[in-house]
Amino acid sequence: MLAVKTALHGGVSVAGGLVSALCCGLWLGFLALAHRRIRDLASSPRPAALAPRHATATVLITVALAACGAALLF
């Protein structure tokens, strides 16, 4: 919601709309990864280690969200 609010602050623009839509999509991806990890942690008393591809995806999504946030500010 903050991404959409920031994108619409100075008026409607295509770039702002695309960046805010990208932020929303990235956030949903981050939530899906977090939900999967929480489910894995709760399923057994000794859960498996975090898979490298999931850790990498989480880091990349976090960096992309930060870049989108920075893009919305400028």
pLDDT of 8 higher than 80: no
pLDDT of 33 higher than 70: yes
| Local confidence band at 34 (pLDDT 50, 70, 90 cut-offs) | very high
> What average pLDDT score do residues 42-65 get?
92
- CA-to-CA dists, residue 65 to 15, 24, 37, 39, 49, angstroms: 16, 9, 19, 23, 25
pLDDT of 64 higher than 90: yes
Q: Could you tell me the residue ranges of all domains in the chain?
A: 2-73
pLDDT of residue 17: 75
pLDDT of residue 4: 62
Pairs from 10-19 (Cβ < 8 Å, separation ≥ 24): 16/72, 19/68, 19/71, 19/72
